[in-house]
Structure 1
Amino acid sequence: MSGATESGETEAFARLLRELKDRSGLSYGALAKRLHMSTSTLHRYCNGTAVPVEYAPVERLARVCRATPQELVELHRRWILADAARGRGTDQAAATRSAQGAGPAQETGSAQQTGAAQEAGAAQKPGAAEETDAVEPVVVDVPDPLTQPSPPARRLRRLRRRTALIASVATAAVLGAVALAVGVPFDGEGKDEGSAGQADSAVEATAGASRTGTPSAAPSASGKGKKPSSSPSASPTGSAGAGSGTSAGGEGQEADRPADDGVSDAVPLTVDVRPYVYDSPCSQHFLVDSEPEQVGPPASEEYAQRWATAYGAISSNEQRIALTVQGTGKETVVLKDLHLRVVSKGTPPGWNEYAMGSGCGGGVESRSFDADLDSGSPTITVKNGQRDFPYKVSESDPEVYYVTVHTKAYDVRWDLTLDWSSGSRRGTVHIDNDGTPFHTSAKVGGTSYDYPLGGSEWIDPDAVNQ
């Protein structure tokens, strides 16, 4: 069933890619050249045999094919589901390989047991040496000492071996029962003192077995009703960093809920952050405290985070980020409101400005929100006439939100908080740029540089036109 789901989600994503490609009128070769990828890779994406690891090439394809805002949102949603389905398929394949790997060991063990049994049978055939130490069948006929004469010494040795075999089999059976009893999880509710005593005895027996070299079974360490986080890097303080895809923690959440009501403490949603989203291929500008000879070529959106970190760059005049919010379970999560918080506000540094492209047209807007960092108390407002919060998300129905902030007078560090609720539970998710506030500054002073298409260096357009 899971394989069919994986195939269906991947095919739905690939079908949407094919529709965009066919509508563009471009061949696979021409489109792949514009996207800076191989034709075979693009073909695999469009026929569903592969899913892009990152979303950036998918968004570039959609923009080249002039996707509508609605198609951009649907394409991102389909990619998220196809990527998640691919992850589930990889886990199942690994589990299958692990299970198959146990086969040879089991066969080897069976062969060894069969060989031992054959040797024992051969020892009982006529003509075999009576002094053999092969183990005879467990069923024994012990003579009655009152009516039978004393057996010879050889018979006594065989009886001792049989008795030792019976004792070892009984011990193994008891230890196996103990291991099964300890390995069965229980929730601890409604157990009486007798049950607790049996559990303690089982643990003691297992501990004794481990001292004699017998493998022991340990009880499950997972707590009652605990749902594992979708990512091991989820922050306990409730922050969701750039590109993390982590489960975001809640601040002050579930304060009114009893501790043992069976509801998971895990936050039922994840927030993936892209801190630099290009409204068009050349919309992003950065301020850098370096001369053009010391600054490398502009970066595409896919590598913007790495480029900005390498040069200590600050978004110039405005910054557009993308938030992908998805539930971690089948229950619906209500996203109640999105808030912007100014961490610090100061004087712009006056650095040089570098454009990530040149000669580009306008971009598209979709599920977009806006904030003016120059106002006294910046707030998130809706754009494009769309509705405001609340929204709903679940595991199969994610949402993508674009937030654009702008400033003409200040150097501003800022972050976001997202309020959510699910049934009787509620909380707040803290959103920032991989553990640090987002950073946007006005351009005041400095020189603006462009990197012409096909060029090899940064140029000052004003100096060239003089």
Structure 2
Amino acid sequence: MERSHGTAEAENFARLMRELKERAGLSYGVLARRLHTSTSTLHRYCNGEALPVEFAVVDRFARACGASAGEAVELHRAWLLADARRRAGAGAEATAGAEPVPVPTVVVAPAPESAGRGPWYRRRAVVLGAAGVTAAALAVTVAAVAAGGWGAAQAGSAPPAASASATPSSSVSGPSAPSPSGLVPVPPSASGAAPESGSAPAPGSPPVSGPASSAPAPVPVKAAVRAHVWAAGCDHAYLVERGPGAVPAPPVEADAPAWAAAQRAVHAGTQIVEVTVHGTGAGTGAVVLEDLEVRVAARRTPPAWNVYQMSQGCGGGLTPAAFSVNLDAPRPLVRPVAGNGTGGPVPAPAFPMKVSAAEPVVLRVEATTTGCDCDWSLDLRWTGPSGSGTLRIDDGGGRPLRTSAATGRPVYGYATEQGRWGR
């Protein structure tokens, strides 16, 4: 939970929540039980005093209140705007001398009504994850999304924004400088941008016309990345080299990137990465996401550090549809796994899938390891009207994501009443 600071965006989000609650005729107590949260926390959400740190809570609230697809879209858009404003405010309040964290830009696109738009699960978040990990319900994604990337630092560095880098094919290229969203297009290969050896024009001849000399086409997709997503908003663990007396109390999920960077922490056993992908409106037609590939750049012996659990258990009872990723496999793959939501079974998502400026897709990747300290990233292949390419999903600035096994390591939980870590 994070304070909303009374922004106009947060007030609008709270108003929408109140309207849905009043129309449904449900008490705060009943709704709180369905959302797996406390009555006081839900009351603060509806009064604009606090904002959920992840959309799963908002999605469960909308469905518990019987929201229509259009109302779910409006609520999703309002939450994204309020969340972006909250993050911008948090960045402005950072201490002097701290490395700045890019603030995400929110792009709002009109969301059409649900009629004729395919099955409901297609408009939810697509969740990529490890089987057996309890997490929140799937999020509705037919709304505007944050175009800027934010995320967590690898151990030993300040908390940069996680990023998605585009590697277009020879038919598509983009600007050489990073965009504000963290999407870094890479120039096309020489096979599509330069003449073959021996075919250069003679001195004094007119310049060659055609695709090689034309202006680069804009990349039609963008992504926002969160690398410190906790299961059900509270369940996660980190490996830290320091002893329990030198480690501060666990943060809330929204403050996890800064906390982990300060402790030089590494994700222990499991890492959840949330990637929101949407079209930019460049060109015509939708963009098709073809496949997601895992790249393991390095495997090391897991460090002999302590495990610090962020929560003693938060009791989430929903399992999302997932693609499980086992980093210990020689060639890790994403594998579809069906889930279970409040309305019953949720079919496993599958590629290919379409995205546009009005209909983004949220990919939730849950990577696990029991045997290595792994550096890894994801390549998301896409095809659009103007060509095809690849989005590289990493931890920002070209740095890989990092997840380490924690089997057999000392495990500590935080005793709030005593104000210290204990085993």
TM-score normalised by the chain length of structure 2: 0.58
Aligned to 2:166: 238
AA paired with 1:267? V
**Contact kept in structure 1, 2:237 and 2:309, CA below 8 Å:** yes
Equivalent of residue 396 in structure 1, options 358, 374, 380: 358
Residue 333 (1) aligns with residue 287 (2) = yes
Equivalent of residue 43 in structure 1, options 39, 47, 59: 47
**Contact kept in structure 2, 1:24 and 1:66, CA below 8 Å:** no
**Contact kept in structure 2, 1:273 and 1:323, CA below 8 Å:** yes
Residue 287 to residue 252, structure 1, CA distance change in 2 (3 Å): same
**Contact kept in structure 1, 2:301 and 2:373, CA below 8 Å:** yes
Aligned to 2:302: 348
Aligned to 1:285: 237
Give 1:50-449 correspondences, 5 Å limit. Answer: 56=53, 58-60=55-57, 65=61, 78=74, 81-82=77-78, 238=166, 245-250=181-186, 252=188, 255=192, 258-259=211-212, 265-329=217-281, 331-366=285-320, 368-384=322-338, 385-435=347-397, 436-449=399-412
AA paired with 2:265? A
- Whose radius of gyration is greater, 1 or 2? 1
AA paired with 2:276? T
Q: How many residues align?
A: 295
Please report how far the alpha carbon of residue 66 of structure 1 lies from its aligned counterpart in structure 2 after TM superposition.
9.4
Secondary structure in structure 1 of the residue aligned to 2:185: coil
Find the aligned partners of 2:264 and 2:71 in 1 and give their Cα distance: 32
Please report how far the alpha carbon of residue 265 of structure 1 lies from its aligned counterpart in structure 2 after TM superposition.
2.2
Q: 1:293-346: per-residue Cα shift (whole Å, max 9, x none)?
A: 111111222111111111111111111111111111163111111111001001
Find the aligned partners of 1:438 and 1:66 in 2 and give their Cα distance: 32
Please report how far the alpha carbon of residue 414 of structure 1 lies from its aligned counterpart in structure 2 after TM superposition.
0.4
Aligned to 2:27: 25
Q: After the TM superposition, which of the residue ranges 244-253 and 75-84 deviates more from structure 2?
A: 75-84
Find the aligned partners of 2:324 and 2:14 in 1 and give their Cα distance: 29
TM-score normalised by the chain length of structure 1: 0.53
**Contact kept in structure 2, 1:248 and 1:271, CA below 8 Å:** no
Q: 1:221-252: per-residue Cα shift (whole Å, max 9, x none)?
A: xxxxxxxxx7799989638xxxx843342563
Find the aligned partners of 1:322 and 1:231 in 2 and give their Cα distance: 13
- Structure 2 stretches lacking a partner, 5+ long: 1-7, 84-146, 150-160, 168-179, 194-209, 339-346
Find the aligned partners of 2:377 and 2:244 in 1 and give their Cα distance: 30
Please report how far the alpha carbon of residue 367 of structure 1 lies from its aligned counterpart in structure 2 after TM superposition.
5.2
Percent identity (aligned):
28
Please report how far the alpha carbon of residue 434 of structure 1 lies from its aligned counterpart in structure 2 after TM superposition.
1.6
Q: Once superposed, what is the RMSD of the aligned Cα atoms?
A: 4.4
Please report how far the alpha carbon of residue 432 of structure 1 lies from its aligned counterpart in structure 2 after TM superposition.
0.4
AA paired with 2:312? S
**Contact kept in structure 1, 2:293 and 2:379, CA below 8 Å:** yes
* Structure with the higher fraction of residues in strand conformation: 2
Find the aligned partners of 2:241 and 2:148 in 1 and give their Cα distance: 36
Aligned to 2:140: none
